[in-house]
Amino acid sequence: MTDPPASLPDLPAPGEPLRLVDVQRAVTAELDRIAPVVDVLGGLFEKAGHELALVGGPVRDAMLGRRSNDLDFATSAAPEVTEKILRAWGDAWWDMGRQFGTIGCRKGDWVVEVTTYRSDAYNPDSRKPEVSYGDTLVGDLGRRDFTVNAMAVRVPGREIVDPYGGVMDLAHRVLRTPGRPEDSFSDDPLRMMRAARFAAQLGFTVDRDVVRAMTGMADRIAIVSAERVRDELVKLICAPFPRLGLTLLVETGLADHVLPELPALKLERDEHHRHKDVYEHTLTVLEQAIDLEPRLAERGGVEAPDFVSRFAALMHDVGKPRTRRFQGDGTVTFHHHDVVGAKLTRKRMQALRFSGGQIEAVSKLVELHLRFHGYGSGEWTDAAVRRYVRDAGEELERLHVLTRADCTTRNRKKAERLRRTYDELEARIERLSEEEELASIRPDLDGNQIMEILGIPPGREVGEAYKYLLEQRLDHGPMSEEQATTVLREWWAARS
């Protein structure tokens, strides 16, 4: 089933219903657009004596006015029949999903997957189904996760099949399951994560019975692989309305199992903004980071949605529960929560099987998110600015976004003062970058030059000399080769 696009800019705000006339108009327009595929394929399967229907996500997205060239179909034909038809019609074909009854092909810009009607059975201790083929379209739709994904359009006749009220649920923007949610989530616990993800992607509310089932069955998510949980979490965080999905995970208890650091924040108070808890502050920082994403595209070439900056915003304060200390005057401190938070972030991302590059990027941002507050009103030396840039490395633009997003004070004067101060820091970085190429800071002598000047072979001492010259470069800026040689010889003489 095709997932919703990560960005749905033309959707109404969450909670606003859709007009049925608009839904009908949208699906008609989309079916006309994809007619070269659906009508032709429908005719080919019909000629072979089999049913074919557009199903799932493409139908839902068509009703929402969304366009996609990835189309999912269900058919009464066996996989070998589907393969024969698609091989004759398409430009290329594949059968990696054959064990699930799925054959795929590409035709020009279109990507098509056709799956034989299924009526899967699930082992209670696994989310992997025992695949068995069904014989009706309605039966196939009944095994799907939500009613808005359990609609179909028979082709080539374009008859809409909606046995579970998906059209009305889509119009009212609500997520329900075709049958009892307890049965659906027992079959596949990952569907609980998908409920939160679809809420975040589509701006839908979740039916009370679904929320109740998610709450009662949250611990069932433990049988789902970390990789699949991770993939759903990434899609949720990169969605247009991540607060909706994250709030649902926390309220149902699912977050206790997949991202326990998030609900832990509900119990903490922020040292700077004691009128709001750190949990709400964190969600606000995430939303503000999303608003600042255009900066990443303009300055860093990073297209939205950017998971790294969003997840860093979500995790930036997770060290606070471990570092909370109560002072005698009633204040609360969270000293070193940046360092502790980076360690917790790394551990959680490793458990969720994120890539090494993503783990390094996010944990670095969490560890550095407080560094700017040492800048005060501009007292940093140029050496401190160089170190800020050096430590941020490739994540500098994302650090700019996270630091700016981390300001959630309601005090306008304070917020404006912080913004002006960070503007000044960025201006200094740009000036120094133009003068000194900060992005590629390195010593003024390389390893070969160090060995030649000091007359030493490769080894630990070369590394120590290189590190010393790097510190001199950060403290004093660029030096000529002659100056660097003098500094190196003085260091070597003093060391000896």
pLDDT at 182: 97
CATH number given to 17-172: 3.30.460.10
pLDDT at 28: 92
Q: Which range, 256-265, 411-420, 464-473, has the best average confidence (pLDDT)? A: 256-265
Parallel, antiparallel or unpaired: strands 110-116 and 70-75 = parallel
Burial class (CB in 10 A: 0-12, 13-18, 19+), 374: exposed
CB atoms within 10 A of CB 419: 12
- Taking only the tens place, the pLDDT of each residue in 33-46 is 999 999 999 999 99
Cα–Cα distance, 359 to 357 (Å, whole number): 5
Residues in CB range of 291: below 8 A, 6 or more apart: 405
Q: Residue 102: which H helix or E strand, with range?
A: strand 102-107
pLDDT at 438: 54
Cα–Cα distance, 255 to 79 (Å, whole number): 39
Parallel, antiparallel or unpaired: strands 121-122 and 129-130 = antiparallel
- pTM above 0.95? no
Q: What is the mean pLDDT of residues 56-72?
A: 93
Q: Do the Cβ atoms of 206 and 175 come closer than 8 Å? A: yes
| CA atoms within 13 A of residue 395's CA, in its CB half-sphere | 25
Note the maximum CA span of the chain.
91
- Binned at pLDDT 50, 70 and 90, residue 409 comes out as confident
Select the more confidently predicted residue: 393 or 53: 53
- Taking only the tens place, the pLDDT of each residue in 355-402 is 999 999 999 999 999 999 877 666 788 888 888 988 898 999 999 999
C-alpha torsion 11→17→23→26, nearest 10: -20
Cα–Cα distance, 415 to 427 (Å, whole number): 18
- Taking only the tens place, the pLDDT of each residue in 278-319 is 999 999 999 999 999 999 988 878 888 999 999 999 999 999
- For residue 360, what are its two tokens? 């390094």
The packing angle between helices 307-315 and 278-291, to 10°, is 160
- Binned at pLDDT 50, 70 and 90, residue 275 comes out as very low
Decide if domain 264-440 falls under CATH 1.10.286. Answer: no
Q: 355-362: long-range contacts (C-beta < 8 A, 24 or more apart)?
A: 358/307, 358/308, 361/308, 361/312, 361/394, 361/395, 361/398, 362/308, 362/311, 362/312, 362/315
Cα–Cα distance, 154 to 51 (Å, whole number): 8
- Taking only the tens place, the pLDDT of each residue in 174-231 is 999 999 999 999 999 999 999 999 999 999 999 999 999 999 999 999 999 999 999 9
Q: Do the Cβ atoms of 315 and 327 come closer than 8 Å? A: no
* Helix spans in 254-381 (H): 255-258, 261-264, 278-291, 293-295, 307-315, 320-323, 337-351, 356-368
* Single-letter amino acid, residue 401: V
Residue 481 pLDDT greater than 50, yes or no: yes
> What CA–CA distances, in Å, run from 32 to 26, 29, 38, 296?
10, 5, 9, 37
- Binned at pLDDT 50, 70 and 90, residue 339 comes out as very high
Select the more confidently predicted residue: 330 or 421: 421
* Buried residues in 81-107 as b, exposed as e (16+ CB within 10 A): bbbebbeeebeebebeeeeebbbbbeb
Average confidence score pLDDT of the chain: 89
Q: What is the mean pLDDT of residues 322-332?
A: 81
- Taking only the tens place, the pLDDT of each residue in 160-175 is 999 999 999 999 999 9
Domain ranges of the chain: 17-172, 174-259, 264-440, 447-495
What is the assigned CATH class of domain 174-259? Answer: mainly alpha
pLDDT at 461: 87
- Binned at pLDDT 50, 70 and 90, residue 123 comes out as low
Cα–Cα distance, 197 to 247 (Å, whole number): 11
The pLDDT > 70 percentage for the chain reads: 91
Which range (83-97, 409-423, 424-438) has the least confidence? 424-438
The pLDDT > 90 percentage for the chain reads: 60
- Taking only the tens place, the pLDDT of each residue in 417-446 is 888 889 988 888 888 877 655 555 677 788
Residue 58 pLDDT greater than 90, yes or no: yes
Q: Which range, 128-142, 345-359, 443-457, has the best average confidence (pLDDT)? A: 345-359
Q: What is the mean pLDDT of residues 434-459?
A: 77
Residue 67 pLDDT greater than 60, yes or no: yes
Cα–Cα distance, 37 to 21 (Å, whole number): 25
Cα–Cα distance, 199 to 206 (Å, whole number): 7
